[in-house]
Chain A
Amino acid sequence: MRTIKYAFKQAFIQVFRNRTMSIASIFSITAMLLILGLFFILAVNVGLATESAKDKFDTVQIYLLDETSQESADEMIESLKSIQGVSSAWYFTKEEAMEEFRVSWGEQAYLLDTLAENPLPNSIKVTLSDLSQADTVISIAQTFPGVEDVPNSQEFIDQILKITDGIQKGAIAIIVFLVIVSVVVVSNTVKLTVLAREREISIMKYVGATNWFIRGPFLTEGMLIGCFSALISVGLVMAAYTKIVEMVGQRALLLLSTSLVPAGFLTTHLFGIFLPLGISIGALGSIISMRRFLDT
């Protein structure tokens, strides 16, 4: 207990007395965590985009011929509802379809006014609870009389999933690489600190200090530096991200038709990741760099 108290006291004193070195270490860990944070945010956002992209395609739309009556459409709806994996099915009129179009066209909707009559067909919309049932639903729907066409979006979904999967795997690979790089960078920075105190360490050994007694303050110092760096980088990443959400958020909504992950949600998660990560990087760095000096 007294040793732990001693280690903390010494670590604070050393970080303060050794300001230049401490600031250098904090800078390098912070830089690493910043880059890491950006890739983390990218990965999370791509993940979210993928999820919402999947959500959009959980609907199969069955276009009906104009002469198909409402009654036969109702029969189709009943039989579609009995298929497993279908959560709901309903009749979607051509007027509703036009209204949806107008909404999605927004300010350009006036262009639709030039149309003499509604060219859109009546349709049945089916929502799926299980995406893999899409093919079954489509092939059954195609056998119904009075069906004009069932567009199959499965291929498109597969394509999107493949791309986003690639992006996420790439981001994870880069994150792993960055963690390794930061441990190396930090252990080198701490090694400079230890090297500067090599003589001190040898003196401590002469006076009869145990290895853990010597290591304690350096270890705590590394962890303290890692802790500071984590706090700084969470702050910086969040400030930057909040700005990005503010600036790009609205436009990205139109462009990707998905929203960005809210800043508050990310802060808690980044905090939970960065703090242990920063502290472990600092601790690992000092242990690695001290090993050589504590052989005997």
Chain B
Amino acid sequence: MIEFIDVTKKYGENIGLEHANIKINKGDFVFLVGPSGAGKSTFIKLILREIKADSGRILVDDMDVTRMSNRQVPQLRRTCGMVFQDFRLLPRKTVFENVAFAMEIVKFSQRTIRRQVPQILSMMGISSKADKYPNELSAGEQQRVAIARAVINNPKVLIADEPTGNLDPDTAWEIMKLLEMINRRGTTIVMVTHAKDIVDRMNKRVVTIDKGHIVGDVTEGAYMIHENY
């Protein structure tokens, strides 16, 4: 589903990612861990073609991200749902409109939108919040809206950048349960996190990045390798 072949990205003298090789299969649930500035953000930005790699190849769902024209970028981003630590909801749109927006850009009819948005909101447990604006919701609720928006078009990959970073432990765990459910429905999930307890408890594949290099990759695992992370 996602493949990095000898990918290098430098910011001037600083290494973002160097000679990175990794293969993430369809249906995988992968935690991406490592200290701040290790290259986790570079990894995600490369997948979404927010930045271009200096060398190497990146494949996402058989699309060659490294040789893609700007016009194809929206198509790539529709293949990948995104969830962020700070939710990134459109502040001037209601919950319903935020989720509907993802469908509007793919030109679904209003009828389909009116049918599917309530379904996904109910799946995320926020049906009653449909007409609220993001600033009227709790952090956990906002993240549920963001996840609803990310998965409504059935993306093949869901990329979550510290989705639990702003949440208390109980809410964080609820969000993890939602992500696990989405993963079971066949969506590949790549999640960047610093939350050791969550990684340990989920018992999924863990990829560790440090100083621009992939230094660890265990299939069932724990937040480990270097104790001081």
| Known A200-B90, A296-B50, A296-B70: A208·B78 in contact at CB below 8 Å | yes
- Is A296 a contact partner of B104 (Cβ separation < 8 A)? no
- Is A296 a contact partner of B48 (Cβ separation < 8 A)? no
| Known A2-B107, A3-B107, A204-B105: A209·B74 in contact at CB below 8 Å | yes
- Is A203 a contact partner of B90 (Cβ separation < 8 A)? yes
Assembled-state Cα–Cα distance A21/B73 (Å): 32
Which of B92, B101, B105, B107 has a CB less than 8 Å from the CB of A14? B92
| Known A208-B77, A296-B70: A203·B105 in contact at CB below 8 Å | no
> Which of chain B's residues have a CB closer than 8 A to the CB of A205?
74, 77
Which residues of chain B in 88-137 are interfacial with respect to chain A, using CB atoms and an 8 Å cutoff? 88-92, 101-102, 104-107, 109
Query: A4 CB to closest chain B CB, in angstroms?
Result: 12
When C-beta atoms are compared, the residue in chain B nearest to A294 turns out to be B70
- Is A209 a contact partner of B50 (Cβ separation < 8 A)? no
Assembled-state Cα–Cα distance A284/B146 (Å): 34
Total A residues in contact with B, Cβ cutoff 8 Å: 18
- Is A296 a contact partner of B73 (Cβ separation < 8 A)? yes
> Which of chain B's residues have a CB closer than 8 A to the CB of A210?
71, 74, 105
> Which of chain A's residues have a CB closer than 8 A to the CB of B75?
208
Assembled-state Cα–Cα distance A296/B70 (Å): 7
> Which of chain A's residues have a CB closer than 8 A to the CB of B205?
none
Interface of A is mostly: helix
The answer to the question of B7 belonging to the interface, with a C-beta cut-off of 8 Å to chain A, is no
A177-205 vs B: 1/0 string, CB under 8 Å? 00000000000000000000001100111
Which residues of chain B in 148-169 are interfacial with respect to chain A, using CB atoms and an 8 Å cutoff? 149
| Known A208-B74, A208-B77, A210-B74: A203·B88 in contact at CB below 8 Å | yes
Chain B: number of interface residues, binned into ranges: 20 to 34
| Known A6-B104, A200-B90: A206·B48 in contact at CB below 8 Å | yes
Which of A18, A200, A207, A296 has a CB less than 8 Å from the CB of B105? A207
> Which of chain B's residues have a CB closer than 8 A to the CB of A2?
107, 109
Assembled-state Cα–Cα distance A203/B88 (Å): 6
- Is B101 a contact partner of A207 (Cβ separation < 8 A)? yes
B12-25 vs A: 1/0 string, CB under 8 Å? 00000000000000
The answer to the question of A213 belonging to the interface, with a C-beta cut-off of 8 Å to chain B, is yes
> Which of chain A's residues have a CB closer than 8 A to the CB of B102?
207-208
- Is B77 a contact partner of A206 (Cβ separation < 8 A)? yes
The answer to the question of A17 belonging to the interface, with a C-beta cut-off of 8 Å to chain B, is yes
- Is A206 a contact partner of B88 (Cβ separation < 8 A)? yes
Which residues of chain B in 11-54 are interfacial with respect to chain A, using CB atoms and an 8 Å cutoff? 48, 50
When C-beta atoms are compared, the residue in chain A nearest to B75 turns out to be A208
Instruction: Pick the most buried of B70, B74, B75, B77: most chain A CB atoms within 10 A of its CB.
Output: B74
Assembled-state Cα–Cα distance A18/B50 (Å): 30
Which of B76, B105, B109 has a CB less than 8 Å from the CB of A209? B105
> Which of chain B's residues have a CB closer than 8 A to the CB of A6?
104
> Which of chain A's residues have a CB closer than 8 A to the CB of B48?
206
> Which of chain A's residues have a CB closer than 8 A to the CB of B77?
205-208
When C-beta atoms are compared, the residue in chain B nearest to A210 turns out to be B74
Query: B67 CB to closest chain A CB, in angstroms?
Result: 16
> Which of chain B's residues have a CB closer than 8 A to the CB of A3?
107
| Known A296-B50, A296-B73: A208·B105 in contact at CB below 8 Å | yes
- Is B91 a contact partner of A200 (Cβ separation < 8 A)? yes
The answer to the question of B82 belonging to the interface, with a C-beta cut-off of 8 Å to chain A, is yes
Which of A207, A213, A296 has a CB less than 8 Å from the CB of B82? A207
Assembled-state Cα–Cα distance A205/B105 (Å): 10
Query: A128 CB to closest chain B CB, in angstroms?
Result: 67
Assembled-state Cα–Cα distance A6/B89 (Å): 19
A198-230 vs B: 1/0 string, CB under 8 Å? 011001111111100100000000000000000
List residues of B whose CB falls within 8 A of some A CB: 48, 50, 70-71, 73-78, 82, 88-92, 101-102, 104-107, 109, 149
25 contacts between A and B (CB under 8 A): A6-B104, A14-B92, A18-B92, A199-B88, A200-B91, A203-B89, A204-B90, A204-B105, A206-B48, A206-B77, A207-B77, A207-B78, A207-B82, A207-B149, A208-B75, A208-B76, A208-B77, A209-B74, A209-B105, A210-B71, A210-B74, A210-B105, A213-B74, A213-B105, A296-B50
Going nearest first, the 4 A-B pairs with the smallest beta carbon separation are A208-B77, A208-B78, A209-B105, A210-B74
